[in-house]
Amino acid sequence: MRDYEEITAFLGEWGPFQRFIFLLLSASIFPNGFCGMSIIFVGDIPEYVCLIPENLNLSQAWMNKTIPLVQKGSEVQYSRCRRYRLESIVNLSLTIPDPDLFNVSQIEKEPCLDGWVYSKEQYISTIVTEWDLVCNDDWKAPLSMSFFFAGVLIGSFVSGQLPDRSWRMLFLTLSLSGLMYIPMWWFIPESPRWLMLKGRVKEAEEILRFIAKKNGVTAPDVLFTELELEDMRAKSTQSYAIIHLVRTYNIRIITIINILIWMILTTGYFGLSLNTPNLHGDDYLNCFFLAAIEVPASTAAWIFLQRCSRRVTLSSILLIGGALLIVIQFIPTNISGLATVLVMSGKLSTTCGFDMVYVYTAELYPTAVRNMGVGVSSMASRLGSIISPYIFYLGVHQEFLPFTLIGILSALSGTLVLFLPETFNAPLPDTVDQMQKIKGFKCSPTHKNHFRFNKKKTSTSCSKCGRDLTCSVLNPAIQKWTIIIFPGLI
């Protein structure tokens, strides 16, 4: 029986209809870029100190002494979250005109009870200055960023193009740009492959004939033979739910690996982007460079997807990117430019990998659960988005700690990719049974008792049903310990 590619071969590979859908879907990405990167500016934390009310009638000399000095690294600066108790300051100013004659460090300290004064040198306002997300509420800043990212897909070059000094105006721009999604409902049809799998043959045929008309080709009088129609009706009787992503051993391992890879990629992507304020130089310029680097990254991903192995290429990109980020911690502080170049290179590899993993994941899953597989992976990546602001805040403790952590995670994801099967130039599977087998793991038995019937330790098959238990991947000793450590996966 013919497969889907053979049935639809008459449509051509890159006709007017395919180009129109491609351009429409590409245009829909623009709002994502604005949403994803706007938090760099909207959530920025400017310099701030405790607010000192002006009605205290303090001299300028005493006013300058109301904020204690603290040691931060090799620098001495004003405390951000504490001030000397104002009642004591006022009382002392009445008896001691010159504060230099008194050791003010003996005065009791108190929190910023009247709020804070924020620098407006770079931004008029941000969510941090509007909601006072500082000091004892420091945890609220990354938390607010986490919720901001929970529903956001990451975009493209435009992410650094419209920074605004007022966060309300920027949010208005984002809301209006989101209207671009509305036309998608009418212009993008349902997938004929999915409709055929669901037994909705008439709808699939109508769409295929519509595509043929748009491409200027003549569709066959009969698209599906009787045998194909019967096969589609038989397959449509089986319903699929999210549980099918973990029901068998093979698809369960693929799902787990995909979830980990997507989480790590998103954590690294956003972690590097959010760390823009910690880079040396202008925030706007650094954000522009981090956004512009996605153009060659996406171009490279497109070339790799056209010509190279999915598994080896994606793994190599992530391993190299991780190594570059780990090396940053060994760069001397007086060569800040080289560290910035390595960050840009790490962002390039992460973006390239992020672009490739969408295609790779879709090719791994069969049509029956492809949408669910990509959806679950994308949902898991949102967890990475939520975690990324906290990785960004690690830079407060050690400048290069975020890059080191992201580099280690990236190298880990590159290693995990090697366990996935290769999909380059392989036909897309339509059912779970047609999926390729996972690399480097024991093949799944059909029931939990296979190894109980394998009385002979030297045997590689079940003595009850004859099922091969090794797939010539792992030796019996490794299999034995796999069964002991992970009994639930057997």
Specify whether 294 is located in the same domain as 222. Answer: no
Q: Specify if 229 maps to a domain.
A: yes
* pLDDT at site 264: 92
Q: What CATH number is given to the structural domain containing 317?
A: 1.20.1250.20
Q: Could you tell me which of 312, 323, 321, 315 has the C-alpha nearest to residue 422?
A: 312
Q: Specify if 273 maps to a domain.
A: yes
Q: Specify if 6 maps to a domain.
A: no
Q: Note every long-range contact of 297-304, with CB atoms under 8 Å and residues 24 or more positions apart, other chains counting.
A: 297/347, 297/348, 297/349, 297/351, 297/352, 297/355, 298/156, 298/351, 298/352, 298/355, 300/348, 300/352, 301/351, 301/352, 301/353, 301/355, 301/356, 302/355, 304/352, 304/356
Task: For 438-455, write each residue's pLDDT tens digit.
Answer: 765 444 444 444 444 444
Helix (H, G, I), strand (E, B) or coil at 371: helix
Q: How far apart are CA 144 and CA 373, in angstroms?
A: 28
Specify whether 55 is located in the same domain as 137. Answer: yes
Specify whether 284 is located in the same domain as 411. Answer: yes
Task: For 283-341, write each residue's pLDDT tens digit.
Answer: 778 778 878 888 899 899 999 998 888 999 999 999 999 999 998 888 877 777 788 88
Specify whether 144 is located in the same domain as 195. Answer: no
* pLDDT at site 415: 92
Domain boundary among 236, 271, 296: 236
Specify whether 250 is located in the same domain as 232. Answer: no
Q: Specify if 25 maps to a domain.
A: no
Whether residue 322 contacts residue 410, with contact meaning beta carbons closer than 8 Å, is answered with: yes
* pLDDT at site 456: 45
Q: What's the structural domain count of the chain?
A: 4
- The pair phi, psi for residue 424, each rounded to 5°, is -65, 130
Q: Could you tell me which of 269, 277, 291, 28 has the C-alpha nearest to residue 149?
A: 269
Specify whether 412 is located in the same domain as 337. Answer: yes
Specify whether 474 is located in the same domain as 357. Answer: no
Domain assignment of residue 101, given as a range: 48-152
Q: Could you tell me which of 388, 408, 416, 289 has the C-alpha nearest to residue 340?
A: 289
* pLDDT at site 300: 92
Q: Specify if 356 maps to a domain.
A: yes
Helix (H, G, I), strand (E, B) or coil at 354: helix
Q: How far apart are CA 173 and CA 31, in angstroms?
A: 9
* pLDDT at site 438: 78
Give 10-residue mean pLDDT values along the chain (490 residues): 74 85 76 67 84 85 88 80 90 86 87 89 82 66 46 34 44 55 71 79 85 86 76 67 84 92 90 74 77 88 90 93 89 77 88 91 88 88 84 75 89 92 85 77 46 45 47 41 38
Specify whether 263 is located in the same domain as 410. Answer: yes
Specify whether 337 is located in the same domain as 247. Answer: yes
Specify whether 295 is located in the same domain as 399. Answer: yes
* pLDDT at site 440: 56
Specify whether 452 is located in the same domain as 473. Answer: yes
For CA atoms 187, 191, 195, 196, give the dihedral sign: positive
